Amino acid sequence: MQIINYINFRSLISIMKTITNPKQSELQLKATCAIVSRKPAVDKNSFKTAVISLYKMNNPHKSNTFPETTYEFTNVEKVRIKGLNVSYYLEGNDIIINDLEELKIIKEGTFLVLKGYQFEMERRSKK
């Protein structure tokens, strides 16, 4: 059983696409959900690495789903999120942006700006 799980995990990782420091200063991307997180800085003289993972479903963190594409931006001081409804999960320090139609990532020096289009917030029951 462990060997099968390991093989499935390895095949999923090979499907995932990670793009580090894309050359475009503006990216316009289709996604249903984005998770904004961070990784440690590359070196002592730079800021942390911002990680934006894109999914085709809402709340992927609840179903252990792998992202379709992950963007990593090194040396990011701040991420600004403009005009979007977000959820901040204290357990994992992640910001979840659900109900997306489109996400725009704009790189401005050491800042990232996230804008986009969201469908009306879906109704979620408290459990």
Residue 35 CB burial class (10 angstroms; 0-12, 13-18, ≥19): buried
pTM exceeds 0.95: no
Domain parsing of the chain, residue ranges: 18-118
What integer is the mean pLDDT of 92-97?
Answer: 91
**Residues paired with residue 112 on neighbouring β-strands, in sequence order:** 79, 107
> Which of 52-56, 84-88, 90-94, 101-105 shows the lowest mean pLDDT across its residues?
90-94
Q: Is the pLDDT confidence value at 102 over 50?
A: yes
pLDDT higher than threshold 80 for residue 121: no
Mean pLDDT in residue range 11-27: 81
Q: How confident is the model at residue 6 (pLDDT cuts 50, 70, 90)?
A: very low
What is the β-pairing status of strands 87-89 and 94-97?
Answer: antiparallel
Which tokens is 52 given? Answer: 């934006």
Average pLDDT over residues 22-43: 96
**Hey, what are 87's tokens?**
């959820």
